[in-house]
């Protein structure tokens, strides 16, 4: 059975090894039994971003992509370890163009991930995510920092111009509610 508290404790222990491979191994164990994981976090019913754990040194998110969803290119400015527990997540990688003429970034490869797959994205990776399926896809995303507070960038999908990351824009585009940490109090809306 998947134990969320033990998962977080194992992630913390793995971070002390200064190798993202150790975190990848913890993630691989977590997504190796999707049924057990889902009994703990719940079956995805709609696109969502659920914060499982957040601290200055570690963030764990349950990300549920809508069918055919495509995200804006974005960076994290911290390492990310992604484990798929259902469906697919296709990552398109981008690189900065040293002397941009038309676009500031260009396509630089990709990686398709399916149920049970785990990957490590380095702190400088720029990527966009595609759920190519006609159903929801779910993944656990773990970051080696405070992902929700990190300053980062996103790129306009048409012009590929860099701008500060705006979680409200990204959430609205994806049809996802904002995590509670980013919602305004009801009196401020």
* pLDDT digit string, tens, across residues 132-182: 999 999 999 999 999 989 999 999 999 999 999 988 887 777 667 665 555
Mean pLDDT of 70-92: 96
79 phi, psi to nearest 5 deg:
-70, 145
Q: Cβ atoms within 10 A of the Cβ of 109, count?
A: 10
Q: What is the pLDDT of residue 179?
A: 59
Give one DSSP letter per residue of 12-73, joined into a string: HHHHTTT-HHHHHHHHHHHHT-HHHHHHHH----S-EEEEEEEETTEEEEEEEEPTT-BPPP
**Half-sphere exposure (Cβ direction) of 139: Cα atoms closer than 13 Å:** 27
pLDDT, tens digit, 9 for 90 and up, residues 43-61 = 999 998 899 999 999 999 9
Q: For the chain, which domains are there?
A: 4-178 (2.60.120.10)
pLDDT at residue 89 is higher than 90: yes
6 pLDDT band, cuts 50/70/90, is very high
Q: What is the pLDDT of residue 177?
A: 67
For residues 58 and 145, is the Cβ–Cβ distance under 8 A?
Answer: yes
What is this structure's pTM? 0.89
- Give, in degrees to the nearest 5, the angle at Cα 154 between 127 and 185: 120
């Amino acid at each position: 059975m998947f134990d969320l508290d033990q998962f977080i404790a194992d992630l913390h222990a793995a971070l002390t090894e200064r190798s993202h491979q150790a975190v990848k191994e913890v993630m691989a164990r977590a997504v190796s039994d999707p049924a057990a994981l889902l009994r703990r976090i719940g079956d995805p019913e709609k696109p969502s971003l659920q914060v499982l754990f957040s601290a200055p040194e570690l963030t764990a998110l349950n990300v549920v992509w809508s069918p055919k969803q495509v995200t804006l290119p974005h960076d994290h400015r911290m390492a990310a370890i992604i484990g798929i527990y259902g469906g697919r997540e296709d990552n398109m990688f981008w690189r900065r163009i040293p002397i941009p003429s038309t676009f500031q970034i260009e396509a630089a490869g990709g990686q398709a991930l399916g149920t049970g797959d785990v990957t490590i994205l380095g702190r400088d990776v720029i990527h966009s995510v595609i759920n190519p399926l006609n159903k929801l896809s779910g993944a656990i995303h773990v970051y080696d920092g405070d992902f929700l507070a990190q300053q980062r960038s996103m790129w306009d999908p048409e012009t590929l111009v860099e701008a500060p990351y705006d979680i409200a824009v990204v959430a609205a585009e994806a049809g996802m509610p904002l995590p509670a940490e980013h919602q305004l109090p009801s009196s401020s809306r």
